[in-house]
Amino acid sequence: MKVEKVALNGIPLGRLALRPDRLCAFEYDSQWLEKGVSISPVNIPIQPGLFNAKRDPFNGLFGVFSDSLPDGWGTLLIDRWLHGQGIEPASISVLDRLTLVGSNGMGALTYEPDHGIQHTKDHPDIDQLALNVQKVLTEEEDVNLEQLIRMGESSGGARPKVMIRMDGRRIHVHSAGGLLYASFRLSSLDYTALLKLSMVMTGDINETEKMFRLMVFNVLTGDRESIDGRYF
C-alpha cells in the first residue's frame, strides 16, 4: 500500500494511503490530535481512527488534499512534462500527483516523498515566461516546461498564470467545493449553501455578513464564475 506523509507548515499532520480499490484513507498524527484542530471539519473531524474518502468527485481523494492539486493549466503542464519523461499521465495515481506537488502547492499542506520541481528565488523573466506559455498553447516542442511548472503548476484556474511566493508563513486554505465534496467543474453549489457554510466555518455573523456582501457584489457585477472553488 502506497503511503504519504502530510504536514502543515512543517508540522506532521498525518498519513495518506491509497487502498487497493484506489480510494484514499487518512489518519491524523497522534501529536496533531493533541492540537484539536481539524483541517477539513465537514469530512475529516479531529478524532483518532481511519477516514476513508469517497470516489467522486475527486477520484478517490479527500477534498482538502484535492485542493492541493493543480487545476487545468497546471495539470496540462504536468501531463506534458510526464510525457517528456516517458510516463503516461493516466497511469499515475492521485497520490503520485500529490508527490509531484510536494511542497509547492497552494496553502500550507506539504507531501512526502516530495518529487516536485523546486521553486527558485530568482526573479522570473516575464517575457520569457510569456514566450514559453505561447509555445505550450501552440503545442511546440521547444518549451522550458520545468520553468513554467516552478512558477505556475499549483495556481488554480484553467488559464495560464504564474505564482510568485513572498517570504512569510503559509496559510491553510480549503475550497468550498473541497469542503462539501462538490466538483468545481459542475455547478453544484449555490449562494445559500455558501452562506450557511460561512457561518458553520467561522461561527461569526460578521464574517457571514462579509460573505453576503461579496455575493451581492458578484450578482451586481455579473460575476458568473463557479463558487465551488471559493477558498476559506
In-domain check, residue 35:
yes
- Output the CA torsion 145→108→120→112 (10° steps): -70
Domains of the chain: total: 2
In-domain check, residue 129:
no
Structural domain including 46 reads 2-69+92-112
pLDDT tens track, the chain, 232 positions: 678 999 999 999 999 999 999 999 999 999 999 998 999 998 999 999 999 999 999 999 999 999 998 887 778 888 888 888 899 999 999 999 999 889 888 888 999 998 877 665 566 667 777 777 777 777 777 676 776 776 655 545 545 455 555 566 788 888 888 888 887 666 677 888 888 888 888 888 998 899 899 888 888 888 766 554 455 4
Q: Which residue, of 57, 84, 112, is where some domain finishes?
A: 112
Residue 79 vs residues 10, 76, 231: alpha-carbon distances, Å: 28, 5, 25
pLDDT of residue 168: 64
Q: Which residue, of 61, 79, 112, is where some domain finishes?
A: 112
Which residue type occupies 152? G
In-domain check, residue 78:
no
pTM, two decimals, is: 0.78
pLDDT of residue 149: 72
CA distance 101 to 225: 25
Let me know whether 107 and 187 are in one domain. no
Q: Which residue, of 84, 112, 140, is where some domain finishes?
A: 112
pLDDT of residue 17: 96
